[in-house]
Amino acid sequence: MTDDRILLHTSTSLLRACTRLLPFHLLLAALGGWRAHGLCAVIAWTLITLSLAWLHWRIAFDAAIFRRWLAVPDSDGFDRALHTLRLRRPRQPPPTLPQRCRGATRLCRQLLLMTLVQAAITAALLSRHAPP
């Protein structure tokens, strides 16, 4: 296996592993929404939930693209498609595979950080309303 294939395979596996956090996030979102009372708590809960939804969508999208690249490497066609669909401005030069993999890793780190934030806020909401 070449270095690029190893990097692509590792990034794909990391993205796939992050998708397994979705049920946990949904459970915490349900608990947080159930206990969120007051404007500040509702705003925090909403922002966290929307941020997590965006991150999960991006990670699922990237995982699908990386899986496709494992079968048929075509990052140039992907960049053209993103530009055609107006999802990204053209970059000169286009990002390299290591840059793309670092971007995917950054998404996973952001998801883990948001997991901690969501868990802390949910714990605070649950403890606020716990019986004495």
Is the pTM value of this prediction over 0.75?
A: yes
Percent of the chain with pLDDT over 90: 52
In angstroms, the CA 35 to CA 17 distance is 29
Residue that has been written with the tokens 């401005």 in this structure: 89
What is the rounded average pLDDT of the residues 86-109?
88
Average pLDDT, the chain: 89
In angstroms, the CA 63 to CA 116 distance is 22
Closest to 62 (Cα-Cα) out of 26, 16, 97, 96 = 16
33: left (phi over 0), alpha (psi -120 to 50) or beta: alpha
Structure confidence at residue 59 (pLDDT) = 96
The listed range with the strongest mean pLDDT (32-41, 54-63, 72-81, 82-91) is 54-63
Is the pLDDT at 131 greater than 80, yes or no?
A: no
Look up residue 107 and give its two tokens.
């998404």
Is the pLDDT at 78 greater than 60, yes or no?
A: yes
Q: What is the pLDDT of residues 10-39, one digit of tens each?
A: 999 999 999 999 999 999 999 988 888 889
